[in-house]
Amino acid sequence: MSRRRLPAVAVVGRPNVGKSTFFNRVLGGATAVVDDVPGVTRDRREGEATWNGVPFLLVDTGGLVPGTKDSMEDAIRQQVEVALESSALILFMIDAREGLTELDRDIAERLRPHTDRVLLVANKVEGLDQETAAMEGAELGFGTPHTVSGQHGREVGDLLDAIVARIPKRVQEENDDAIRFTLVGRPNVGKSSLANRLLGEPRLIVHPEAGTTRDAIDVPFRFDGNDFVLIDTAGLRRRSHVTTGIEYYSALRTQKSLERSDVALLVLDATEPLSHQDARIASTIMELGKSFVFLVNKWDLVEKDDHTTSEFTKRLYEELPLQGEPPILFVSALTGMRVQRIPAMVRELYEERHRRISTHDLNDLLQESLNGLQPPVKKDGRPLKLYYVTQTGEAPPTFAVFTNAPRDVPASYEGYLRNRFRDRLGFRATPIRIVFRARH
């Protein structure tokens, strides 16, 4: 089996040239907006498009710099940098009604070294007057502009023909047999240094400046007979700090990296106190249903006695309330301490998240749980009955409990069942999900 990674087509341009209108035209209006990303931003706009059988990811950069205090020129520069960094093709959009502006020319200069990846698009062309005015765009040096009206759909099909002619026809396939794990954490906790130490060679850029890694980097490798893909990501900053275009997209790519991963390694700095950001990242990992490990880096710099490890562990579990008690590995990227244990732990958690439990064992556990604590009565005063349970999915493990009133099961009782299932079934580092369904 394999997973697809689609070529990205980014729409860039100054404000109010119609990028979002074009985006919605191609993607189909409201269906184009991707779900909100926990803890990042609500301005994420990207979606999968297909034209003449060729799929691609269309990215609207209109919400690239929410809340920025930078100048407009700096915001545009960052927008272009992000597009160049992450896209197979760039649609440079201008406004045929208003004509060229200094910002348009500034964008053109920044895109000029990458002309082979740029299509010039003149939007808001609804008649002959705009058609003629659009030709002014040819002076930017990217050929004759493609004239369209995102609002009315005029010649959008012709532009899509040009897009699919310029992007890779073969979608990159990812081998599902490889175990994917992602390094996540606040900036400057040593994620790339740990990756380099694990790989045994400096295959990833390491730099003392916080936030150096701006993109997710996939590094396949083999260890002890198993295929892995290490995904090194940009550091996740607090939401209030995700203000520049590059940081905005770094956070989104980190989200994508987690979605593609089996296991997340949450890297902590042993020399710094735990923070709300650490808790938020842990919560995001759990929301996505990923198995995870705490990697406590820089452990060589901590003064230790017989109680240091146990006290740190206790504080970690108390300050970061989680499902279960994920394993903790105390490591040092600088000395290599325990780093080589990471692949075996990742493989163990991969197997845990793909574990299947027999229906017989599940129903024995359900009955045992009911004997330990009966569910409360329904709102109408009649008994709430739980009949049987079966596993309906894995990665993360998902269990369906059939009942006479799915909507009446309180969150507290769901939590009770989840804790019982997790503890008795051995899901110590993998969030599990319980859904309640009506018995027909």
**Residue the block writes with tokens 């083999």:** 222
Tokens linked to 382: 């009649």
- 301 contacts 440 by C-beta, under 8 angstroms: no
pLDDT above 70 covers a percentage of the chain that reads: 77
Rounded to whole angstroms, the Cα distance separating 237 from 80 reads: 22
Provide DSSP, 123-156.
Answer: E---SHHHHHHHGGGGGGSS-SPEE-BTTTTBTH
**CATH topology assigned to domain 2-166:** Rossmann fold (3.40.50)
Among 30-44, 72-86, 96-110, 273-287, the minimum mean pLDDT is found in: 30-44
Query: Is 177-353's fold the same as 359-438's?
Result: no
Please count the other Cβ atoms lying within 10 Å of the Cβ belonging to residue 31: 9
Query: Domain 177-353 class?
Result: alpha beta
φ, ψ (nearest 5 deg) of residue 114: -120, 35
Which residues, 6 or more positions from 107, have their beta carbon under 8 angstroms from its beta carbon? 12, 13, 14, 76, 80, 92
pLDDT tens readout for residues 254-268 = 677 788 899 999 999
Of these ranges, 18-22, 192-196, 319-323, 384-388, the one predicted with the greatest mean pLDDT is 384-388
Rounded to whole angstroms, the Cα distance separating 352 from 341 reads: 17
pLDDT tens readout for residues 89-123 = 999 998 888 888 888 888 888 888 888 889 999 88
**Residue the block writes with tokens 């939590």:** 415
- 73 contacts 106 by C-beta, under 8 angstroms: yes
pLDDT at residue 214 in the model: 40
Average pLDDT rounded to a whole number, residues 9-26: 85
pLDDT tens readout for residues 24-39 = 888 875 333 333 332 2
pLDDT at residue 401 in the model: 97
Which helix (H) or strand (E) segment holds residue 12: the answer is strand 8-12
Query: Could you give the C-alpha distances from 138 to 74, 119, 123, 146, in angstroms and in order?
Result: 25, 11, 14, 10
pLDDT at residue 211 in the model: 46
Length of the chain: 440
Rounded to whole angstroms, the Cα distance separating 8 from 168 reads: 10
pLDDT at residue 337 in the model: 95
Rounded to whole angstroms, the Cα distance separating 384 from 412 reads: 14
Q: Where do the domains of the chain lie?
A: 2-166, 177-353, 359-438
**Residue the block writes with tokens 């301490």:** 337
Distance between first and last Cα of the chain = 34
pLDDT tens readout for residues 364-380 = 999 999 999 999 988 88
3-state helix, strand, coil in the chain (%, to 5): 40, 25, 40
Question: DSSP secondary-structure letter at 302?
Answer: S
Q: Give 85's pLDDT tier (boundaries 50, 70, 90).
A: low
Which residues, 6 or more positions from 351, have their beta carbon under 8 angstroms from its beta carbon? none
Query: Domain 359-438 class?
Result: alpha beta
